[in-house]
Every structure is written in C-alpha cells, then in structure tokens.
Structure 1
C-alpha cells in the first residue's frame, strides 16, 4: 500500500467568473453572493474582490475553515455558513459590525472554539448555533442586546446562561434536544415561557350554552382541587373563563396568545 496521508475530497474550484455569475439581487435590493451547494472545500480567495456584497451564502458545502480575511466583507448584513464542517471561527468575524443574521448551524463547533469576538456583533438580530457540539454557551453573548432569535437546538447543553435568556429583545429561543438535567425546571426558569396556547374569553361575550359549559368545567376543576388538597397555588380568573375551555371550539373570534 502506498504510504502517505489520505487526501480529502477535492472540492470545486471557484473562479472569479463563477463568483460574479453567482451574484443575485437580495429581497431588500442589496447584492447577494450565493455559493451554496457548490461542493467547496476551501474558502475561495477570489471572492475577496467582491467584498462589497451585502449577503454571503456559503452554506451546504464542505468548508473546514473560514479565514480571517472574512473581515474584508465590511458591508455584510447576512452570513450563512450552515451545513459545513467548521470546527472553529476566526476572531475576525467580530469585525462585521453591520451583521444582522449569522447562521453557523450544523457544523462541528465546540464551546472552546467559539470566538470571544462574537460578542462584538452588537447589531445581530438572529444567531443560529444549532446542531453543533456545544456543551455550554458563553455568558458574553448576553451583550448582544439586539438579538431577537437564537438557535441552540441539538447540542450538548445542560444549562443556558441567564444573561442570554434575559436578553431584552429576545422573542424566540430554540433549545430543543439538549440534555438538560431537568427540562421542566429549565423551562420554568426561562424568561421566555414555553406554555400551551391560552384562550381567555370574557363571560359577557359567550352564548348561554357555552357559558354554562365553561362554568361546569370550572366547577369540576374546583371540586377536584378541593378533594386532592393540592399544594399548588390555585389560579384565579375573576372575569375570565378557564383557559383552554371547551368554549374555544365554538368561538372563532376568540383572542389567541402564544408565548415562545
């Protein structure tokens, strides 16, 4: 057998011509360089000549490394690197101050190899870290005050820092399929409550039959509570009917509210 180190797959070579032909107009009118699903194994240096684009899509390739020259893309608002083979990211990624969207899910990133300078992306709105090998989340990500959505699903997390859960503008936190020691406790401690949809309807807005049905259901629940002498605090809705009551099936106009 011939000796030597086994070579990885030889990816497609991206030329400047190919890259220019891959530029599209984004929905907001900006320029998007779409090199997704191209079989790329190394970051194409030629695209540094197109560093004025607003969006860069290198997803679904076989990239193992992003060079520090990514900092040349100072206009980037949208960067998609998901579904590659990245084991780390350069600190230089923190210099992309205009970045609003960063997707680095489905890679091989570990907590130790997450760059500290991620916390410098002060304008970031969406961050996807799902499907990696993270066993913890840096508390410094709590400085990303503009974050609205963060994906942490399918990692090895046992807890989420309060600095991240309590971000002021956070509306969606997906941490499904992580080995939390007590998933119920984790959800209850989360400032982003994950509960069933509640249907709250004022009594005056119900027909007589629905009102009677709801009152019966409430009476049954009260009787059950009294019998079991449950130690849990009893909920009280002075002017509102019981949440998730059977009346919801007959009230198409009802108000809905769902917390993420």
Structure 2
C-alpha cells in the first residue's frame, strides 16, 4: 500500500465501480473492490442496481451506512478483513442475501442488530475472527441457514438457537472458550473453560445410520452427570498471523490470510 494511502483512503467513483463488475459463471454480476485501501463505504455503489454480489473484503472500512439496506439486489456480500465494529439495522432489509461474510472484523455482540434475523434466505453466515460472546436471539429465524462460522471469538457455550435451525449442517466454533464439565476425581463435577481447536455441530438428520450410532456411543462415553459433555482436550499447533480460510461461504477457498492490522 502506498504511503499515506491508508489514512486518506481510496476514493471509488461510479465509473471505477462499473468497470469492476464481472459476469460470474452462474450468470450473476459481481462487483469486486477488494484490497484497495477503502476506508469509507462508497455510497455510489447503491446506484448499481444490477449487482448481485459485492466483495469489499480486505479494506479498512470502519462503518456501513444505514443506506446499505437500499442495496436490495444483493445476494452475496463479502466484508471480511475490515474494521467494522457494528452492523446497521438496515441490513435486515437485504432479504435476498444467501451468503454474508463478516469475518475478521472488530464486531462485538452489542454491534449485531436483531434485524439480522430477517435474512431468512441466508444459507451461509461467517462471523469468525471477531469479539463476539453472544448472538441475537432473532437468528433463530434464519430457517435457510446451512453453515455458520463462529470461530475465533469469545463464546463460552454454543448459542441455544442453533439446535432449532433444521437446515443447519455445519457450525464452526474453533478456538472459543467453551465451558464443559469434568470429574474432579472425587465424584464431583467441576466446570472448566478451555480454548478448543475444533467443535463442529452436525444435525443428526444429515448422518447415515452407522455414523449416527457411532456419535451416540461416543457421546455416552463422554457424558457425565447433568447432561454436560466433556470435549477432548486435543490441541492443534497454530501459527501467529495465520488464519483459517477466508470464508465458510465458499467451500473451495483455501488461501490463508495475514491479519491486516
């Protein structure tokens, strides 16, 4: 990045934005403005009513305008690796969204509006690499959700609404401080919190008979009193500065990233 570019920010004009639109193999129009040093969301983009997919990842955007809700044509949005601390309530108006990536920002639980529950067509939602410990209860309305990324946050337990989402097949909760119970050796259960490397939840309806039986048998071995489940303390080696693939929204993304701040 050129000297002084980060402070001043890159100005995106309507002309620049139009030239950045590409037709995707699926017939949709994607606007890619990734890694351009953008600090302020370009409001001129709202005039591009033919854009279905928007990629503003790897920039320096700190805030989304309330007018983002007027970008009604959007079906796919990638805002990972910015500096967002909150999301405006108007995002709930983007009812056509099927994929939303907000990973690697600075989002707190207070910065997530309840209107996110209005995105009933959402299939993939990535909130990994933020500062979240709870989620809005209204997310139980995301009836189409299939994949949910919550890795590298501050959760101490799996959000309760997760079990009510019938189409949800994958929940990534790597590296959170999940609470579990452990026998202290004297027959008493002691609660502990550990940062776990891998926790995946898969609805039993998506398992074959053999796998379902195996999971139940394993669960019985780990369950001890009160229905609490011990999670095996198996740690994987991690490397400073490296992160998980960009998004659970696109299963073929295998490029590792370096935190931009």
TM-score range relative to shorter protein: 0.5 to 0.7
C-alpha contact (below 8 Å) 1:41/1:61 kept by paired residues: yes
Higher helix share: 1
Which of the residues 137, 140, 143 maps onto 1:142? 140
Between the aligned partners of 2:181 and 2:98, the Cα distance in structure 1 is 30
Q: Secondary structure at the match of 1:24?
A: strand
Tell me the TM-score normalized by structure 2: 0.68
Which of the residues 141, 152, 155 maps onto 1:154? 152
Question: Aligned-residue CA RMSD in angstroms?
Answer: 3.0
Between the aligned partners of 2:221 and 2:48, the Cα distance in structure 1 is 61
Between the aligned partners of 1:232 and 1:118, the Cα distance in structure 2 is 38
Matches within 5 A, 1:92-111: 92-111=90-109
Tell me what 1:192 maps to: 202
- 1:135 deviation in Å? 1.2
Which of the residues 165, 170, 177 maps onto 1:179? 177
Tell me what 2:37 maps to: 39
Matches within 5 A, 1:1-260: 9-182=7-180, 192=202
- 1:191 deviation in Å? 5.8
- Runs of 4+ aligned structure 1 residues displaced above 3 Å come to 183-187, 197-200
- 1:198 deviation in Å? 10
CA 1:191–1:106 in 2, change beyond 3 Å: closer, same or farther?
closer
C-alpha contact (below 8 Å) 2:158/2:178 kept by paired residues: no
- 1:156 deviation in Å? 0.3
Deviation per CA, 1:232-255, whole angstroms, max 9, x where unpaired? Answer: 59xxxxxxxxxxxxxxxxxxxxxx
Q: Secondary structure at the match of 1:92?
A: helix
C-alpha contact (below 8 Å) 2:172/2:200 kept by paired residues: no
C-alpha contact (below 8 Å) 1:70/1:93 kept by paired residues: yes
- 1:21 deviation in Å? 0.8
C-alpha contact (below 8 Å) 1:171/1:192 kept by paired residues: yes
CA 1:127–1:73 in 2, change beyond 3 Å: closer, same or farther?
same
Larger radius of gyration: 1
Q: Secondary structure at the match of 1:9?
A: helix
Between the aligned partners of 2:203 and 2:115, the Cα distance in structure 1 is 29
Tell me what 1:239 maps to: none
Between the aligned partners of 2:167 and 2:16, the Cα distance in structure 1 is 40
Deviation per CA, 1:94-127, whole angstroms, max 9, x where unpaired? Answer: 0001100000000000001101100000110000
C-alpha contact (below 8 Å) 2:149/2:173 kept by paired residues: yes
Tell me what 1:240 maps to: none
C-alpha contact (below 8 Å) 2:113/2:136 kept by paired residues: no
Show structure 2 runs of 5+ residues with no match: 1-5, 183-190, 211-219, 223-261
